[in-house]
Structures are given as structure tokens and as C-alpha cells.
Structure 1
């Protein structure tokens, strides 16, 4: 017997097999529900992989929405600040800098939670990307500390998660986590995310 796929129902009658959100609701409530669905999908894919079963191909009736899709009047302007990478090494930072170009977007790196908090306190940071596999780093605690800094309430905290990481949507929501990206992260996904959350301009074709 197959389980229903993760889905979010907005309004209408409650259905036991789906997550439901009744309007009106705050943006943070929607983000928390979407993060929960992503976590469920992540666990389902990990289970299929552990069983050696083939992953189901994604089927879409329409193309993915681009970073400029939607109503312009409803989109918040991106914050003008740098990207902070919290990781055990600088390889991901170097890859990201090479991908977008150092002149287009400032990218910083640290392997220290206290230094990450200090950087977010002293300089404008649009996005803080935390590798959950970085040793000695509590991703939820670090996100909470970053968001507690004056002026950092608009900093988007994104977690980079691997298959062995158990994402807790309740902890993430309480810590102010904006979302997560499954590793390895594709270059296209990285660029689209940065175009949504930072001042990164359109990339040349």
C-alpha cells in the first residue's frame, strides 16, 4: 500500500493524510510547513536509497518557477549584504565564489560559531549557510544566536544537510531557520537561491 505524497493543503476541509494550513497565516507559518514537507521528502528518499529501490523521477506539468516569477509588488527586495559560509573548510566558499564571481557577491567563510555570530553582528549578511556536518557546530543554536543580533533579523539562515542529518522542523522554526538544501547542492539551485535572497544580479547565459 502506497502512502500519499507529502502535500500542503491551504484552506478547505481538513484531511488526515495531509498537512493543512488555514488562512490567514503568517509567512513564517508557511515556511515552517514547507520545511516539514522537505524533511519528510528527505527521509523518504533516504529510506528508498537504504532499501536499494529506484528513486521516482520528478514529474511536472509546468516548468519550475524562476527567481523572478510571481507578482513583483509582493516580492520583498533582497537584502544588500554578503553571504557567510559556516563549514569545516573553505572549499565550498571557493566553489561558490568561482560560480558567481567575487565582484558580483561578497562571500565570507568561517569554521567558528562565535566568529559567525560576530560577523553577522558587525557586517551586513544576507544569507548564512551552515553545513550541519561541520564539527563542533550546533546548527539550530547558531541560527538562534545569529538571529538574536541587532540588525540580523532579516538574515536568511539556510542549512546544508546530508542524508544522515535528521532535520527537526520545530527546532528549525524556533531558531529562525529559513530553509534547507540537500547536499550535494546543484549549481543552478545555489544561484536561484542567492538571486532570491541577495542582491546577486542575473547571471550571463
Structure 2
């Protein structure tokens, strides 16, 4: 059996749907001798390893300009007038040049992360639910007052077996063991029953529900609706664990109260970043 391969995640910004499909296909065909890539869905909660943006789209450039200071994800522009200081490839996109540029940018990211670690600093994931529309202009205390801490409850995993629950619990326990917040805990529960999941969310505090969309007998959208319709569940985050065979419906997911998705297999770094974003897990 082959070990799961965790490709580098790419966030596409500002492209028309047809070009998104084209770029996704090119990235999926990256040579096996180099990095592999995966384009994130618009509703994905995963932190991208790098951004690929339309250099001729003013809205895309404005969004990139509003990324938090110190963001270490490299940016590659496709097209544009050539005036940007960021690395740019012309249209039409040459596959070989694309793979070479992305590999170079990933090397830069590795070096930047190593330098950050040497300084004793940590990455802080973006906690906003929507892209920034403009740069922050208020004092930091203003935004601190706007923040709400996560509800104090468990992580509940709905899956066909308990293996993923055990892995998540180990990841959380490892992170909490190095936490500067003594006494902070985050229990991780599991069930394979829709009824039990709804009952647990009704009877006990639950901060995050993770639903494996491949679990047999679980209708993911209906389950999310049932959980979110309960009193006190407005701040319970529901996310889907999605495989390649699952067709994620954004409109239906939002109607059901789904916060977003994580693509399987989920690397530990993406689990940690998601928990930091949704549960304030210590950095």
C-alpha cells in the first residue's frame, strides 16, 4: 500500500471558470519528479501553500494587496501588464515554465519558514471567513474587540470508523502539550450514527463537527442542517471531509450551515491550521 501523498495546495484568485479548469488540469499533470499540486475549492478551509492569480484582474490584485502582513505564501501572477514586482508568467501559459516557477517559489517558501522558525516566530492562520476587501486601517485593539472566542466544546467526528478520530486526538494532544495555556483542553469524540451526532450536539457543548462525506448511511447536508437548526448551535462550526469522488455543492452547503471543507487526505499541517482558525488552538 502506498502512503498518502499530500500535494501542495494552490489558491486560484481572479480567474474565469474556464481558465480555472485549464490551470487545474495543468497542475494535476505536474511531473512526478517534482512537487505535486492541488487547487483548493473556493469553500476550502485549508491554508494555501501558494497563490496563483490573474495579473490582469484588478480585483484579484486588490485582494492580494490585502493579505496580512508577514504572509509567507508566495504569489505567481498569470498575465497582466508586467508592471507588478511579483513573479509573472505571460499568457498563454507554458506548462514547463509554470512548473519551474512554482517549484522556485516553493523553495523560497521553505527558506522563509525556516528563517521564521529560527527567529522563534509562528505562523498565524487567517481567521476571517471572507477575503479582505481592503487593508486594515484601525488600531489593532479595534479588531481584537471584534473577535469572538470559539465556543467551549468538543470536536465531534462523524465517520465510518474511529481511526481518523484517534489521529485527530493525537494531533490535538501534541499541540496542547506544548501549550502556554495550562488547563486548556479540547476533547475529540466520534460516532458513525446520524441520530447520535444530532443528540450529542443537543446535549453537550460541541465547537466543531467534522463530517466524512463518504461515511455510509450519512447524508451530510441533512445532518448539518439538523445540527445547525438546534438551539445554541449558531456558533458550532460544521465542515465536510471531502474525497475526489464527492461533488461539493456550495449553495446547498451554505443553506445547510456548512462552514467549508477539507480535502482528503488531510495533512497534519492543515488540521492544525484549521483548528487554530476555528478553535483557537494554541500556536
TM-score surpassing 0.5? yes
1:7: how far off?
3.1
Q: 2:125 aligns with which of 67, 72, 87?
A: 67
CA contact (8 A) 2:150 2:279 kept: yes
**Aligned equivalents of 1:176, 1:66: Cα separation in 2:** 25
Q: 1:59 to 1:177 in 2, by over 3 A?
A: closer
Q: 1:113 to 1:56 in 2, by over 3 A?
A: closer
Other-structure match for 1:126 = 207
Other-structure match for 1:96 = 168
CA contact (8 A) 1:79 1:199 kept: no
**Aligned equivalents of 1:90, 1:109: Cα separation in 2:** 6
CA RMSD of aligned residues (A): 3.1
Q: Which runs of 5+ in 2 are unaligned?
A: 1-10, 31-35, 39-48, 52-63, 65-70, 74-122, 129-142, 177-183
Q: Which runs of 5+ in 1 are unaligned?
A: 9-15, 19-39
Q: 2:250 aligns with which of 169, 178, 182?
A: 169
Q: 1:7 aligns with which of 3, 13, 18?
A: 13
1:183 aligns with 2:192: no
TM-score where L is the length of structure 2:
0.52
How many pairs align? 166
**1:155-177 Cα deviation digits (max 9, x unpaired):** 10000000111000010010000
- Which structure has the larger Rg over C-alpha atoms? 2
1:69: how far off?
7.1
Highest RCO, 1 vs 2 (Cα 8 Å, sep ≥ 6): 1
CA contact (8 A) 2:127 2:277 kept: no
